[in-house]
Structures are given as C-alpha cells and as structure tokens.
Amino acid sequence: MQAFLQTLIYGVETGAIYALIALGYTMVYGVLRLINFAHGDVYMIGAFVGFYACTQWLPFKDLSQHPEAAAVNIALALITLFLSMLLCALLGITIERFAYRPLRNGFRNADAHFWGFVIALPVTAFVGAMSTTKRQGALLFAGVVIGFIMRPVMAHLTKRIKPSSSRLNALITAIGVSLILENGGINVFGADPKFIPDILPKRQFSLLGVEFNSSRLIILIIAAILMAVLRYIVLYTRPGKAMRAISHDIDAAKLMGINTDRVISFTFALGASLAGAAGFMVAAFTNIKVVPLFGLQPGLKAFVAAVLGGAGNIPGAALGGLIMGVVESLVASRYPQWRDAVAFILLIVILLVRPAGLLGKNTAEKV
C-alpha cells in the first residue's frame, strides 16, 4: 500500500510537468488545428534560460558554503522563473510570427528578411569565428545583406504561391522549427550535458511511510498556481474569450472584428511561457541534465497527454497529463523498460476507442 501510494505521488509529480507542457499543445491545437512540434523545444529553451540564469546571469550563492543565503536564492529563483517564462513567451511569439503565420497569410517581405537572417547566422558565425573580431557586427551585417539579397529571390519564388492550407505542410514546418531549435541549441549551448547546481535548500521528509521531497512539492504547487492563472485568463479575460471564439470558428471570429493574428500570438505566448516555467523548474529542482534534446521525450509525452485529454480541450490537457504521469509511474514500478511504450499504447487505445480524447466532443466530419 505504501509502495503504491509512493508510486502514485511520483506519478502526480511527473504528471504535473506533462500537464504544463500539454496545455501549450492543446491551446495551439485549439486555435490553429496545428500540432506545434516545436513546443517541446521551447521547454528545452526554458531549461537553458534557467541554467544560464543560475550559473552566470544572476548572483546565486552556493548553498553548501553560504547556508544563510537561502532567502536570497529563493527570490532569485522566482525572478528566474519569470525570466524563463518571459523569454519563452517571446520565442513562442517569434515562432508563430515567422513560421506559422506565413502558412496562413502568405510569405511576406518581412518573413524573407527574417529567414535570410536566420540562414545568415550560422554562416556568419563561422566567418566570425575565423576572424574573431567584431563577431556580432559581422553577424548582423551579413544577416541584413543576405536578407536583402533573398528578398527579390523570395518575392519571385512566392509570386504565385497562395497561403497553404495543407495540414501536412503545417506539420512539416513545425517539425522544421523544432529541428532548428534543437540543432541551433547544439551549436549555441553545446551538446554536452549541463547541470544546474542546487539553488534551493532541500528537505526530505516522510509522511505515512511515503517519501516527500521539498523541491518536487514546489514544482507541484507552482504548476497548480500557473494552471489556475491560465484558467482565469481563458475564461474571464477578453483575450481568453477571443481565443475561445477562434477555436470555435476562426472565420466567424474574424467577421466579428477579432484581430485573430494578435490573439493567436497571445495563445503562443501563453503556452510557451508555461513550457518555459516547466523547463526551468524541472532543470533546477530535479537537477537532471540539460541538453539540447531535453524537450524531445517530455514534449512527445505531453503531446500524447494533450491528445489523451482531447486536443483543444484545456482541462482535458491537464487531466491527460496527470493520467499519463500516474500510469507511467505505475507501469515503471513493475516494468521500467516499458515506460515509454505505455504512453503510446495508451494513446493508440484512446484514439481507437474514443478518437476525440477523454474530454473532447465527438464531432461529425464536415463535408
């Protein structure tokens, strides 16, 4: 019984993280019907922001030498949490603006500039590394130049291109963005594992024979708070209402005078900030290794969780995450090697039995 309870607790801890990431998937799916594959990598970026904040940007104290600095560290950790959320939100908006919006509205000049710059980055990073001086300057300059060169080329290429409505295209674009973030991460951060040092005092206590760990409880509490805030935003604020309107019918929402592009940006920002928070918390409070592929598995599992709960359904994503975490933990306690398979078997069964997910509504196919 104790062992079972213990396993359950572990499951809820993992599930909370899945839920946080799954929310981002489900919101984006709700408004755009797009599987945002890059979402798991936003989670990874959150972890890296946390890593750099904890080791370089912010004056965290080493607790083993300065035990009195705990209060300062807690305050700094909160700042890092917000920083992670903020930067990830910005990243989410950027991804939406330059990768997904051109799919909806067509490829514009601004997009050509942006992608020209992105292509220029690695090239100039190499040139910069060779010349070593004025690296940033060279980077910017070459980016702008290549952007300008690409502009007429792109304009020519895209002359006859209408915005694409193909799901397959959107999916591949999302996968491409995910690959850019992962491989860019390998170039920028390096592929070697990094560890965030202990920044918060940890306490271990047992209750009824079940082991609790203070840092994992913190994750649980913050996750709960964030989900409550999200629920408030979606249900009771204007952008939240607009989001729901778009997810019902994007064209009708447009006709009602909703600035859909802006609301979609907002949706991405919300989802990405949750993923960023999750990334930072996992990296800092469980001290697992931070690598550019940090988000691959959790992203996939969270995505399964989102589908499990019903893609596009916000409470469903939270529920799906928790279920995933618990089931995974239960299976892992007996058959650890099947842990990863369980997620997918669960997914397959749910989709075959109840394709709209646990809380989703079954809708008839429109002709």
Partner 1 sequence: MRWLLGRIGVVVLTCAILLVANRLLIDNIKEYYISVLVLCGLYATLAVSLNLINGITGQFSIGHAGFYAVGAYVGGAWTMLMRPLVVKSLPILQTGTQLGDHLNLFIALVLGTVCAGLTGLLVGLPSLRLRGDYLAIVTLGFGEVIRIVILNMDVVGGPRGFTPITALVNDHGIPLVWVFGLLVVVVAFSRNLVKSAQGLKFLAVREDEIAADAMGVNTTRVKVTAFVIGSAFAGAAGVLYAHCQTGVNPDSFDMNTSITVTTMVVLGGTGSISGSLLAGIVLTALPELLRYDFIKDYRMVIFSTLLVVFMLTRPQGIFGHREIALPRFLRRLIRKKENAP
Partner 2 sequence: MIQLRQKSSLFGALLLGVALFGIGCKDKEEAKPSGTGKTGETTDTASRGNTVTGDTIKIGEYGSLTGDNSTFGISTHRGIQLAIEETNAAGGINGKKLELISEDDNSKAEQAKTVVQKLVSNEKVIAVIGEVASSRSIMAAPVCQDAKVPMVSPSSTNPKVTAIGDYIFRVCFTDDFQAVVAAQFAWDQGYKNVAVFTDVKSDYSKAFGELFAKKFKTLGGKVAAEPTYQSGDVDFKAQLATIKGATPDAVLIPGYYTEVGTIARQAREVGLSVPLFGGDGWESDQLIPGAGIALEGCFFTNHFFSHDMTEPHILSFIAAFQKINPGKQPGALDALGYDAAKVIIEALKRAKSLDSVALRDAIAETKDYQGVAGKITLDANRNARKEAVLFKIVGKEFKIFKSYRPEQVGL
Which parts of this chain interact with partner 1 (CB under 8 A)?
A: 33, 35, 99, 102-103, 107, 111, 115, 118-119, 121-123, 125-126, 154, 157-158, 161, 164, 166-169, 171-173, 175-177, 179-180, 183-184, 186-187, 300, 303-304, 307, 311, 337-338, 340-341, 344-345, 347-348, 351-352, 355, 365, 367
Among partner 2, partner 1, none, partner that 192 touches (CB below 5 to 8 angstroms by kind): partner 2
Give residues in contact with partner 2 (CB under 8 A).
3, 6-7, 10, 14, 64, 186, 190-195, 197-198, 204, 206, 211, 213, 216, 286-289, 291, 297, 329, 332-333, 336-337, 339
Q: Phi and psi of 196, rounded to 5°? A: -80, 130
Binding partner of residue 107 among partner 1, partner 2, none, CB cut-off 5 to 8 Å per kind: partner 1
Nearer to partner 1, 10 or 29 (CB): 29
Residue with tokens 């271990």: 204
DSSP letters of 95-108?
Answer: HIIIIIHHHHH---
122 vs 209 by CB, closer to partner 1: 122
**Which of 285, 309, 310, 288 minimizes the C-alpha distance to 297?**
288
- By the 10 Å C-beta count (0-12 exposed, 13-18 middle, 19+ buried), 125 is classed as middle
- Residue 35 CB, shortest distance to partner 1, in Å, is 6
Q: How far is the CB of 102 from partner 1 (least distance, A)?
A: 5
Write down the least CB distance from residue 146 to partner 2, Å: 26
Cα gap 37→80, rounded to integer Å: 25
Q: Which is nearer to partner 2, 64 or 363 (CB)?
A: 64
- Helix (H) / strand (E) element for 189: namely helix 167-189
Q: How far apart, in whole angstroms, are the C-alpha atoms of residue 217 and residue 203? A: 10
CA distance 168 to 193: 34
3 state SS of 335? coil
